[in-house]
A = this chain, B = another copy of it.
Amino acid sequence: MIPCGIPYVFYSLDSVDDDILPDTIIHNNKVELIIGEVVSRDGKFIIMKDGERLGFDKLVLAAGSLPIKPDIPGIDKHGVYILSKDRDELIKMRNEIISKKNVLIVGGGYVGIELADQLSSAGKSVTIIEMMPSLLPGSVDPEFGAKIQETLEKQGNTVITGVGVSAFGGNGAEILVDLNNGKQIKTDAVIISIGFRPNTSIADNFGLDFDPVFGIEVDEYLRTSEKNIFAIGDCATKRNCFTGEFRKIMLASTAMSQGRLAGSNLYAINVVKTFSGTLGSFATKVGNLSLGATGLTETQAKGMGMKYVVGQAETIDRHPGKLPGASKITLKLIYAQYTHVLLGAQILGGDSVGEAANMLSVMIQKKMTDMEIDTLQIGTHPLLTSSPLGYAIINATVNAIMKWYHKMEND
């Protein structure tokens, strides 16, 4: 399964199997693929469930993650589904959900809001419950969460934030969802989408160091506590690129970067790693509204005790704005107050914000400052971007510089 494509099997794609990445890339690269379960290790041999022993010089663990099953009474009731990445479970769940009218989604993260977008497009009546005060709480600031909520509500979805689920009950096909604010919701199906946990059981079996919340412990070269065994992706620990603390983040793009790093360092440490830690670059789309976020949010910067300056800009992604297909862009940048480096960005708008967010990711990874970005040379085109005068990344940067001058004057 392509994990980030899973919400789309409920509407935009015709089947679960349309979201499968074929093995072609493995075969084309002449890699042998063995399907089987690994149960333990004996030195430089792994032991398969059928007793077979496979020797290795170097071993890379890419065991992925498993859905979190919350400890809520009634969780095992029929019609309450935990969104997984397992093909057979997904096919079963999809077939059952398709016949229902009312669906309640527990979790307002990326997967939850994308499920709501797809299920409401498929004609379902959808309610999302998010325990935190706003949607996408770990990735964007509340005002950006509010814009996503507004779009979901315009699609006909009901969004409830700041409330948890205390129990699932009811008889027969009807499910009664008890909320911790005392209210109760009736629904036909529940999808639990509150995140994943690293699959660390293999590390446990192999005697490697791991943390049950953050994953199999790895160093800068993705080596586990045994130097010939590497771990990458959702099963491996990640560190925050700003503070070095463990950070629970599970993104295909982070996993890919780790995979390339492990590959480069497998047989000889090549010291190609120039960026220690996870930036966290996300993108999503709800209705016609796309969102990209990278680096720190204002909430996170404040929580870490950082001094920062916020730069903001609103613009249109075409010029002149009368051209067809124009969408409004809203951008927020977080700059470090003293070093002037870019720490984070959140951008809302049309489809172009996906790559615009990646451009901002490059800027953060290269530790670019407001002064550099102010005079950046970018290309523009009437049908593809904002005007040179209205280019949001530059204008939000100018906004931050002006606030910073003002702060200096007041100090």
Contacts and interface: CB of A to CB of B under 8 A. Distances in A.
Given A252-B388, A387-B252, A354 B352 contact: yes
A377 B320 contact: no
A329 to B, nearest CB: 11
Contacts of A381: 4, 282-285, 290, 354
A398 B25 CA distance: 15
Contacts of A273: 375
A172 interface: no
B255 A388 contact: yes
Interface string A268-300: 000011110011011111000010111000000
Contact of A264 (B279, B319, B375, B394): B375
Interface residues of A, number: 77
A314 interface: no
A279 B18 CA distance: 42
Contacts of A185: none
A389 to B, nearest CB: 7
A383 B285 contact: yes
A96 interface: no
Given A4-B382, A377-B278, A13 B323 contact: yes
**Taking the full assembly, how many copies of this chain does it contain?**
2
B285 A375 contact: no
A236 interface: no
A355 interface: yes
A385 to B, nearest CB: 5
Contact of A379 (B13, B282, B351, B376): B282
A184 interface: no
Interface in A13-39: 13-14, 18-21, 25
A25 to B, nearest CB: 7
A21 B383 CA distance: 16
A336 interface: no
A293 B365 CA distance: 23
A372 interface: yes
Q: Which are the 4 A-B pairs with shortest beta-carbon distances?
A: A354-B384, A281-B379, A283-B381, A355-B355
Given A252-B380, A272-B375, A366-B368, 20 more contacts: A4-B380, A8-B382, A12-B323, A14-B322, A19-B320, A20-B320, A21-B387, A252-B387, A253-B388, A275-B375, A283-B379, A285-B383, A290-B384, A294-B379, A354-B355, A355-B356, A355-B385, A357-B379, A358-B379, A362-B362
Interface of A: 2, 4-5, 8, 12-14, 18-21, 25, 251-257, 260-261, 264, 272-275, 278-279, 281-285, 290, 292-294, 319-320, 322-324, 351-359, 361-363, 365-366, 368, 371-372, 374-385, 387-389, 391, 394, 398
18 contacts: A8-B323, A251-B379, A253-B379, A257-B375, A260-B394, A273-B375, A274-B375, A281-B377, A283-B385, A294-B379, A351-B351, A352-B354, A355-B355, A356-B358, A358-B359, A359-B359, A361-B378, A362-B366
